[in-house]
Amino acid sequence: MMMHELLQKLIELYKSDVEDYDSLLEKMQAFNDFLESKSDQLPIETYVDKLKEFTLFRNDCFRILQQRSLQSTEIKKQLMAKTGRDFQIEDFKPYHAQKDFSLISDLSQKLPQKMKRVLELDELIISKLNSELENVREELNRLQKAQKLKHIYRSKELIDARFIDKTK
């Protein structure tokens, strides 16, 4: 491929990444808002459904972004082979119209910012889910202890009692 075609392909990959990061950020923010709302007052099924839906979307987005990252890396390797230098956006200014160069420059600045925001939100969501999981564990532990206490104080004689018919 010629240098111009490689750069165009890279622009398309970056555009798709920005769109996917925006979509992911929107879903992540909605799920974070859900976690901050009165989600503990909803039926457990609703909570589990929302978690499954979010997790599937998140994992699918991460998979797609990772595949695209591999494609971008391959294109950058080809561009470096053509220039004989490390990949720097500024090095490709002579090969692009000003409009395209501005676009790829802008996209290459937006991507790390969006990645950073996704990672920040991801950490926040994971910490909230871990906290929620810990609350569930504590509640389960409390219920199990209450069940054990109930069994301890239950009379054993009632369990072993048998009816004896003395009329015969």
pTM, to two decimals: 0.75
Domain-located, residue 35: yes
In a domain, 73, yes or no: yes
Domain count, the chain: 1
Q: What is the pLDDT of residues 86-115, one digit of tens each?
A: 877 777 777 667 777 788 889 989 999 999
**Does 21 map to a domain?**
yes
Confidence of residue 68 (pLDDT cuts 50, 70, 90): very high
In a domain, 72, yes or no: yes
The mean pLDDT of 55-81, rounded to a whole number, is 93
Two structure tokens written together for 33 = 């808002």
Q: In this structure, is residue 141 part of a structural domain? A: no
Bigger pLDDT: 112 vs 3: 112
Q: Is residue 14 part of a domain?
A: yes
Using CA atoms, how far apart are residues 136 and 133, in angstroms rounded to an integer? 5
Model pLDDT for residues 137-159, shown as the tens digit of each residue: 888 888 888 887 776 666 555 55
What is the pLDDT, as a whole number, of residue 162?
Answer: 66
Domain extent, residue 24, equals 3-127
Contact 89, 104 (CB under 8 A): yes
Name the residue with higher pLDDT: 83 or 78: 78
Per-residue confidence band for 64, with pLDDT thresholds at 50, 70 and 90: very high
DSSP letters, 56-123, are HHHHHHHHHHHHHHHHHHHHHHHHHHHHTS---GGGGGGGS-HHHHHHHHHHHHHHHHHHHHHHHHHH
Residue 163 lies in a domain: no
Residue 68 inside a domain? The answer is yes
Question: Mean pLDDT, to the nearest integer, of 26-52?
Answer: 85
